Amino acid sequence: MEMNSCDFWGITNHRQTRKGMPGIPEMGIPEHLQSYFLVFKTQVLKSEVFRKFWENMPYYEDRYDVIQNCETQLTRILNEAGFNYSVLFNTLNDSYPVSDSTTFSYDMLRKGLPLLKIKRLVDAENTDELITYIKNYTKYNTELISERLEKISLKIN
């Protein structure tokens, strides 16, 4: 990725879909950078459009409302304001089903991407296999993953 040619970037993007978030399936999801890791250059941070985006953001109780109304809109808003973006792991060029977090996760790890969303582990059908892969093929301390997943499991149960 050519960092100098973009105004903001993220690790992963989400492809446009016709089906929306749970509870609002009739609203499609636009292509956007996923918000778990975003980098903004100074010109974006100092822009009026960026400031207004944050100032006008209402408080949401539901995470799907946040995703639908904030995360999925920020890329479009900044792009329409003339800012260019890029992504490290571009899902637009690959044939992943949008819901295929397992294959997606392995490919991210194989390409050496530094972050993996916890949701990729929580939602994976084979979490133990994915953790074993991380342990065998990366230098990451998988005990940290196991501890975090245990805390999440305690909250759910």
Q: What pLDDT score does 26 carry? A: 64
The model's pTM: 0.75
73 and 128 housed in the same domain: no
Q: What pLDDT score does 98 carry? A: 56
Q: What pLDDT score does 96 carry? A: 62
132 and 80 housed in the same domain: no
62 and 118 housed in the same domain: no
Query: What domain range includes position 78?
Result: 3-91
128 and 70 housed in the same domain: no
How many domains, in total, are found in the chain?
2
* Higher per-residue pLDDT: 146 or 46: 46
pLDDT-derived band at 34 (thresholds 50, 70, 90) equals: confident
**Structural domain includes residue 96:** no
Spatial contact of 90 and 13, defined as CB atoms under 8 Å apart: yes
Nearest 10 degrees: CA dihedral of 31, 35, 39, 40?
70
81 and 134 housed in the same domain: no
> Which residues make Cβ contacts (< 8 Å) with residue 103, sequence separation at least 6?
96
